[in-house]
A and B are shown apart, each in its own frame.
Chain A
Amino acid sequence: MTDFKALLRTLTDSGVEFILVGGVAGTVHGSTRLTVDVDAVYRRTPQNIDRLVLALTPYHPYLRGAPPGLPFRWDAATIKRGLNFTLTTDIGDVDLLGEITGGGGYDDLAGTTLSIRVFGIECRCLTLDKLIEVKRAAGRPKDFEAIAELEAIRDERSRGGRT
């Protein structure tokens, strides 16, 4: 099980700059769909990569779905060589994304986020409009129903004046 609270706290306590995207961002906006991991776009500066390494090292990150025993090292060099990492950790599954289709990287997305406070933790989340836009841009069939729900949420909000 993914402990969303622990994952968010670990990242924010370590000063990692990240933006929530994907299913958890959908939940933030009101989605009723079940998601089992945290998707986050992280800033690819050397300092932030160092913070990311320090944040997750105690929780033994490993490539999700990979056979055990691979020579995977969770360090800055690995992150710099790669871009997107689907990881499992002791506190749950997390997808760390350097870039997303239709949205780019952290700095590209930073202007289309909102600040949320959850479990006493302050973090950034993609806006509903941007979330819909990037999911549409990705065009993955598995997202079609999620896009429909997010658009329905947008309709409901504009109808009910909810934000």
Chain B
Amino acid sequence: MSDESPSSLDAIIATYKAGLDRSLIRRSLERTVEERLETLMQLQEFAEELRRAGRAAGVG
């Protein structure tokens, strides 16, 4: 259990909530679970490709 009291945790989460891009959430909710998981796998592939590119450029 965290040391954060419920009230301070609520305040922290409210701060994060205020900064969320809800249009992304709405778009995600329009997709099926399968589509969301496929997107996750594509993002992983993209991230791996970026890491490869970074290493090839000597910055990774």
Report A's interface with B, CB cutoff 8 A.
1-5, 24, 27-28, 30-32, 34-36, 101-102, 116, 118-119, 136-140, 144-145, 147-149, 151-153, 156-157, 160, 162
Establish whether residues B13 and A4, one from each chain, have CB atoms under 8 Å apart when the complex forms: no
Q: Which of A118, A119, A152 contacts B22 (CB 8 A)?
A: A152
Bitwise interface map of B from 1 to 42 toward A, beta carbon under 8 Å scored 1, else 0:
111100001001110110010101110110001101100110
Establish whether residues B2 and A35, one from each chain, have CB atoms under 8 Å apart when the complex forms: no
A-B contact pairs, 20 of them (CB 8 A): A3-B41, A4-B40, A5-B41, A27-B33, A27-B40, A30-B25, A32-B24, A34-B47, A118-B37, A119-B37, A147-B13, A147-B16, A148-B13, A148-B16, A148-B20, A149-B16, A149-B25, A151-B13, A156-B26, A160-B26
CB distance from B56 to the nearest CB of A (A): 18
Establish whether residues A27 and B29, one from each chain, have CB atoms under 8 Å apart when the complex forms: no
The yes or no answer to B50 lying at the interface (CB within 8 A) is no
The yes or no answer to B43 lying at the interface (CB within 8 A) is yes
**What are the residues of chain A within 8 A of B45 when measuring CB–CB?**
1
**CA A148 to CA B17, docked complex, whole Å:** 5
Query: What residue of chain A has the Cβ atom nearest to residue B6's Cβ?
Result: A136
**CA A47 to CA B58, docked complex, whole Å:** 49
Establish whether residues B33 and A118, one from each chain, have CB atoms under 8 Å apart when the complex forms: yes
Q: Which of A1, A102, A136, A162 contacts B9 (CB 8 A)?
A: A136
Q: Which of A138, A152, A162 contacts B17 (CB 8 A)?
A: A152
Establish whether residues A160 and B40, one from each chain, have CB atoms under 8 Å apart when the complex forms: no
**What are the residues of chain B within 8 A of A152 when measuring CB–CB?**
17, 20, 22, 25
CB distance from A145 to the nearest CB of B (A): 5
**CA A30 to CA B48, docked complex, whole Å:** 23
16 additional A-B pairs beyond A32-B28, A147-B13, A152-B22, beta carbons within 8 Å, are A1-B41, A1-B45, A4-B37, A24-B37, A28-B36, A30-B36, A32-B24, A35-B40, A116-B33, A119-B34, A144-B12, A148-B20, A153-B29, A156-B25, A157-B29, A160-B26
